[in-house]
Amino acid sequence: MAQRVAERIREAVAAFTFLEDEDPRPMTVSAGVATVPDRAIDSIDDLIRAADRALYRAKDLGKNRVIGDESSSRPFDAGTEEFDDRAAQRRRRAAGRRRRPSPDASASRP
């Protein structure tokens, strides 16, 4: 889905006529796409690195294209125990990052 959206953006930019001092200027888009769940992506930093790798691959292949990251050997199967375990780990990490009120803040409330 994300790769299709990026491709539609690339096509729209390519079809649009940009003008600079009344002269048409072609513009292109190179995009790298990474999505989760993916067995190689455990954090937002991993996701950004994967998208960045894909972007540079798109540029290396001649620009004006959308490339998806292919870093994992196989994607997660949402019906497997492994997927459930990894999803639970991500939820626990996210819960640990949520702000918790300090003991002083709760004592000042009526």
- For residue 32, what is the domain's CATH number? 3.30.70.270
Q: Does the residue 95 lie in any domain?
A: no
pTM above 0.75, yes or no: no
* 19-32 pLDDT tens trace: 999 999 999 999 99
Task: Quote the number of domains for the chain.
Answer: 1
Query: 29: which residues sit within 8 A by CB, 6+ positions away?
Result: 6, 9, 10, 13, 14, 64, 66
Pairwise CA distance, residues 80 & 72, whole Å: 17
Provide the mean pLDDT of the chain: 78
Q: Does the residue 66 lie in any domain?
A: yes
> Structural domain of residue 45, as residue ranges?
2-73
Q: Does the residue 102 lie in any domain?
A: no
